[in-house]
Chain A
Amino acid sequence: MSTIIKLKNINKTYYNGAPLHVLKGIDLEINRGELVSIMGASGSGKSTLLNILGILDNYDTGEYHLNNELIKNLSETQAAHFRNKLIGFIFQSFNLISFKNAMENVALPLYYQKVSRKARNKIALEYLDKLGLKEWAHHMPNELSGGQKQRVAIARALISKPQIILADEPTGALDSKTSAEVLEVLKKVNATGMTMIIVTHESGVANMTNKIIRLKDGIIEKIEDNSEHNISAFGIQNIK
């Protein structure tokens, strides 16, 4: 398997008041198609790491290669281009645009790829169909349940056919049943060969991934190979 993400001695310090060294020399390689979780206590640096991986934030020193491209000192426009082409995001709070319906939210990444409105709406409907939300395509976010919103967000993350999916606590705002359904979707997405990195503090979620990266105080404490797992999140057996 080829490497899609390669981090070498990544450091990040925040300077709001007293300097806070959040990431301390992170070295990490993630292969294509892997399902990886990042775990750690609050303040361990897991969200910062995810933001750097998603080119939402810069790092101070080190090197970050994404899809064999060095990601360093990018302008906002370059970063936006990389995000649009290579990365799909799933957020804990869904981050859907409130005045756009489900279909328009899903289609939005294609708008920035200059796909015509008709074409992008057609593709968005196909993705919503795959996620069982075709009937909800014209509903506004406030008319959807938490699970539906997250599935819309997943469809939006997938529509631009990214190389990796970054999910920040994707089940954090959901009840356990809905969480299981969302995780099932994510697992299926990963099964198509999509690289997926999930930041979570829930061991149930981490247990369904192939690799668990445990962060503590800004350093990788342990990387666990979990490829033999057969326990799905929340104890649901063998999600297919």
Chain B
Amino acid sequence: MLSLLYEILTTIRRNKMRTFLTGFAVAWGIFMLIVLLGSGNGLKNAFSENWGDRLINVVQVWGGRTNIPYAGFQSGRWIELDNKDIQFTAAEFSDEVNFAIGNVQLGSKNISYGTEYLASNLQGGSPQRLIVAGLKMAQGRYINDLDIREKRKSIVISQRAKEILFKKDDAIGKKVNVAGINYTVVGVYYIDDRQDATDSHIPLSTAQIVYNRGINVSNLSFTLSDKINDEPSNTDFMNRYKKRFARQHQISPDDDNAIWYSNRFESYLEISNVNRFINIAVWIIGIFTLLSGIVGVSNIMLITVRERTREFGIRKAIGASPLSILKLVVLESIFITTIFGYIGLMCGVGLTELLAGFFASGGGESRSIFVNPTVDINVAIQATLLLIIAGTLAGFFPALKAVKIKTIEALNNR
């Protein structure tokens, strides 16, 4: 085995250009594939990151103004949502809806604590709003069922509001004044670039009582169950829900202006489709890159083996069996493709890691569209192995053909 290895090394060392060309084709193929897959992953990761912790299955509904006269009503009627909408959504669509909540938007209110104050968008909501909005608590808790039931004057403020009002002091349990009414701070939520830094949340029941909203809500949100898992089921559900909603408020089923819907699941499906497209595109390009690498290696191996026909004839004349020559060529191919495949792999992984570091440190404008452009190492290794196998086969078949040539014909090959 050592002799064979030395024989291979001698051949490689003395045929530098041939070795380099074969190796370069392998290394380049792997390098490009990894960079490409990494870029695709970077785009996909960016989509995922932008989506964040928000639920993908949320539908929001707002009242609008009718455009079509219906059931004795003139057009131009404002549709107001109320608690009954929340109730029928949860009760009649229990198979498709996990939970439904209402939200009251109370507009901008001054919140003060001592001499500090800020303007905040006050909202009345339910405990599940924490999940729907993807909020994360920094301190304390969110609004709970007891707050709702007892119509407590509890308030959850943002971290930014806390910093303005309380500086470094603890806010939990402190009373803040919201346009003349005192609320107890029960929680502080983290803010990121998706949340409005000045939103403050109070219990829905409190908001309806204190601000004379009766049973009205500004909008309602609900989450879809696992039954709604694709485009057809989503479309079918939304059609049925819209009809029911139209009946509830006596509006024309064809009136698109009366009720407004925002279905996050639809957006998610669209983004999923984009992701799927990116995935397919990257793999198609990757496979073609790999194929071009394979073709390059095959071509070089084909020419190499053809060039070496006479050498094989000489070897056979002095006692080499066909198998020993085949072994020599195949092991040489494996050796070259493995070494250069590894180099390509390392360079590709190195570059993607470098880019990942660059984008993670906030470098460049592309941060939001390019996140962690790295490749699963298993995929990288599998691609390298594939190219090694391809390079080996590319050497094997011409070598098999070459050793089958009669020794005397091989010797006479020029």
A interface residue numbers (CB < 8 A to B):
51, 54, 56-57, 76-77, 79-81, 83-85, 89, 91, 95-100, 104, 108-109, 111-114, 116-117, 156, 160
Contact = CB atoms under 8 A, between A and B. Distances in A.
19 contacts: A54-B317, A57-B406, A76-B322, A77-B321, A83-B318, A83-B319, A89-B317, A95-B314, A95-B411, A97-B311, A97-B314, A99-B10, A99-B15, A111-B7, A112-B319, A117-B2, A156-B318, A160-B318, A160-B319
B211 interface: no
B321 A76 contact: yes
Contacts of B315: 97, 108, 112
B229 to A, nearest CB: 63
Contacts of A51: 408
Contacts of A117: 2-3, 6
Contact of A100 (B10, B313, B411): B10
Contacts of B323: 77
A113 B324 CA distance: 12
Contact of B14 (A83, A89, A99, A113): A99
Given A56-B407, A97-B311, A109 B14 contact: no
Which of B3, B11, B15, B318 neighbours the largest number of chain A CB atoms within 10 Å of its CB?
B318
Contacts of B2: 117
B44 interface: no
Interface in B355-414: 403, 406-408, 411
B319 A113 contact: yes
B82 to A, nearest CB: 90
B129 interface: no
B210 to A, nearest CB: 93
B320 interface: yes
A89 B408 CA distance: 12
Contacts of B403: 76
B153 interface: no
A81 B314 contact: no
Given A56-B317, A56-B407, A111 B3 contact: yes
Contacts of A100: 10, 14
A109 B2 CA distance: 16
Contacts of A95: 310, 313-314, 317, 411
Nearest to B5: A117
B13 to A, nearest CB: 9
B316 interface: yes
A101 B311 CA distance: 14
Contacts of B6: 117
Given A99-B14, A117-B2, A109 B318 contact: yes
A108 B318 CA distance: 8
Contacts of B322: 76-77, 80
Contact of B318 (A89, A98, A104): A89
Given A99-B15, A100-B10, A117-B3, A112 B411 contact: no
Nearest to A79: B407
Contacts of B311: 97-98
A114 B315 CA distance: 14
A111 B324 CA distance: 11
Contacts of A160: 318-319
A127 B79 CA distance: 107
B11 to A, nearest CB: 7
Contacts of B320: 80, 84, 112
A81 B411 contact: no
Contacts of B14: 99-100
Contacts of B407: 56-57, 76, 79
A143 to B, nearest CB: 13
Contacts of B316: 76, 80, 83
A95 B410 CA distance: 11
Nearest to A76: B322
Contacts of A112: 315, 318-321, 324
A38 to B, nearest CB: 16
A80 B321 contact: yes
A113 B319 CA distance: 8
A178 B144 CA distance: 107
A110 to B, nearest CB: 9
A108 B324 CA distance: 13
B319 A80 contact: yes
A108 B317 CA distance: 11
Nearest to B322: A76
B3 A116 contact: yes
B321 A81 contact: yes
B316 to A, nearest CB: 6
B9 to A, nearest CB: 11
A185 to B, nearest CB: 19
B318 A91 contact: no
A97 to B, nearest CB: 5
B308 to A, nearest CB: 9
